[in-house]
Amino acid sequence: MLPWVLALITAVSSAFAADLSTDEQWLNLLHYRQTAFRGLRSQADGNEFFLSPKGRHNAAAELEATVHALLTPPHEGHARCRFPARELFLTRHIPDLAAKLPAVSCPEWERFRRHLPIKDVALVFSSFYVNNPSSAFGHTLLKFGHAAPGDRTHSELLDQGVNYAANATTNNALLYAMLGLFGGFEGRLTTVPYFYKGREYNDAESRDLWTYHLTLSDDEKEILRAHLWELGQTHFDYWYLSENCSYHMLSALDAAAPRLHLQDRLPSWVIPSDTVKLVNDTPGLVAATSYRASVATRYTAIEGRLTKGEAALARKLITSDVACDSAEVRALSEERRALVLDTALDGIAFRSPGESLKGETPSGKQSTICVRMRA
């Protein structure tokens, strides 16, 4: 008998002896949920997420197929490269399995692993944005950081974000609403530099951001990163009021840390504020919070510190009725000039959101002169 076949028989026997197919974490990693009429069913809708033809409905069949795939000799698209979170789960529960796995090169997974830091894992809530129906109640995403919360030597804008959103296929408002409400779009997870999301939400859409830093263990962070890699290969039907961005941020956290039982405590209809409330209501889950004001919030706050005359001057600068290097601006003290120019710069960015998102300097020359004068 081939050695890997013997190892397979031993591993499968160990898995079923430990009843791993009913383990809560295994069920969460496959996104199985009990349904009213069809019994156990995975919410993942891409066939590539399953190794068994029965895997969508049968946790035991998928477990056996996964063990088999992990132990097969090296080949392109090996299960060790595709499903590292499942491998972590199984090797933690079957101690001698790791030594039996074949050596496999997984450059894409290793690149993703290096790219997504796990020193800090946080849930980010973005305030509502009425111009986009899918964000009318806000939006949530996960942020992965290079440094612990409060480390002032590191900017969170250098972190990475993991976002879940519908892949919209129509611009028709009525059709968009119907498809969004009834699972007509594919929902996919994507990884994006956090500075881009900061610009998009804070500047282009004037949305405030609240960050909730989570107290996950190192093992939980590691399996969360591996699980997000697995989810990047599949999709979920997007349901605007249930299986949305908020829901799947929590489902990913439950897969990594089943002790949290986040999904079980969700209402039938899920909006981002429910996610925030649930996370904050979970004892010991939130280690720290931080806030990043939108350009509109910053503009309103800083304008309130100006005198009536300075506020009028700032508004003239915003509309280019007065130049940033004019005598009227130069007449101010250094401290007051800086405050007026800061207000004008935020006002210019607020009026030119599209330019900010593209990485362009809002209002060109006027903004450049303001920056030079501010410095």
Closest CA to 93 of 23, 30, 7, 9: 23
- Beta strand 139-145 with 236-238: parallel, antiparallel or unpaired? unpaired
Chain mean pLDDT for the chain: 85
Per-residue pLDDT, 78: 96
Per-residue pLDDT, 40: 92
Query: Residue for token digits 């480390």?
Result: 151
Mean pLDDT, range 133-151, rounded to an integer: 78
Cα atoms in the Cβ-side hemisphere of radius 13 Å centred on 30: 31
Q: Which residues pair with 192 in a beta bridge?
A: 161
| pTM given for the model | 0.84
For 339-367, the pLDDT digits (tens) are 888 888 888 777 765 555 555 555 555 66
User: Strand locations in 69-208, DSSP E?
Assistant: 120-126, 139-145, 160-167, 185-193
